[in-house]
Amino acid sequence: MEIKDNIFSRQFETIVEKELISVEYSFQEKKIFLTKLNVPETFKNEEFVSNFLKNIMEIAIERKLKVVPIQPKIVAFFKKNPVYKELLPPGIRL
């Protein structure tokens, strides 16, 4: 999976089935806030979306960032994948 960090639009992007899937973000200090998951209505492959989010978590690990999930589907991803809870900043509970 190829993920582009579109700094201008402040989002991670990937293309699948000719559709753009993205996660919008913002930065504050050493934290990345994942604010919105954009998936076309016709795209129903939840496993692909989960893998996309896992790849974004790996980017956060590489960049030594803490992750603050804002959007409910991203919060649900953290609940289903407790291995990534170490990326949450102190005091953030899901």
Task: Enter the pTM of the model.
Answer: 0.92
**What does the pLDDT profile of the chain (94 residues) look like in tens digits?**
899 999 999 999 999 989 999 999 999 989 999 999 999 998 889 999 999 999 999 999 999 999 999 999 999 999 999 999 999 999 888 8
Q: What is the pLDDT of residue 65?
A: 96
Contacts of 24-32 with CB under 8 Å at 24 or more apart are 30/64, 30/65, 30/66, 31/65, 31/66, 31/67, 31/68, 31/89, 32/60, 32/63, 32/65, 32/66, 32/67, 32/68
